[in-house]
Amino acid sequence: MIGLHIVAVGKLKEAWMREGCAEYTKRLGLWSSVAVTEIDEARLGSDPSPAEIAACIEKEGARILEKIPRGARVVALCIEGRQMPSEALAAYLSDAAAGGCGSFAFVIGGSHGLSDEVKRAAALRLSISPMTFPHQLARLLLLEQLYRACAINAGTKYHK
């Protein structure tokens, strides 16, 4: 059983997102342990300067790095990351687990993205889509794709 850790900036505000994430977390329990750690968003004014945004990203990045479990393979979700089909994500998890990796940390930054330090710590930079999504929705999409990847690896009919 692999460990899946989601380290995300911000709390889920909408009930339907919380319910969706809870459903996929429950389903993932068939094949993995799942833990979610929420990092508080750094507060910015209504019209932040580029320097303020950069400081915000760095502050959030430091908090993210503190919460990544020791020994976990880090996967950073970022727009410039690699896009892959569900089957490739399944193969990535399977190959890493076969190579001795028992724990993954998937990192979702805040609305301004991830710090360079967090990206450098990642074994994989992953992009969900070339489209832009709210970072809270990215968590739901990630959990569904992790469930799909585990279902593929288990040979179930969920992935068609």
Which residue positions form the known binding site for S-adenosyl-L-methionine?
77, 109, 128-133
The amino acid that residue 134 corresponds to is: P
Tokens encoding 60: 């959030």
- Residue 3: what are its φ and ψ, rounded to 5°? -100, 130
Task: Give the integer Cα–Cα distance in Å for 87 and 109.
Answer: 24
Instruction: List C-alpha distances in Å: 97 to 3, 17, 46, 103, 150.
Output: 10, 29, 44, 8, 12
Q: How far is CA 120 from the centre of its chain?
A: 15
**In whole angstroms, what is the distance from residue 148 CA to residue 153 CA?**
9
Q: Which residues are annotated as a binding site?
A: 77, 109, 128-133
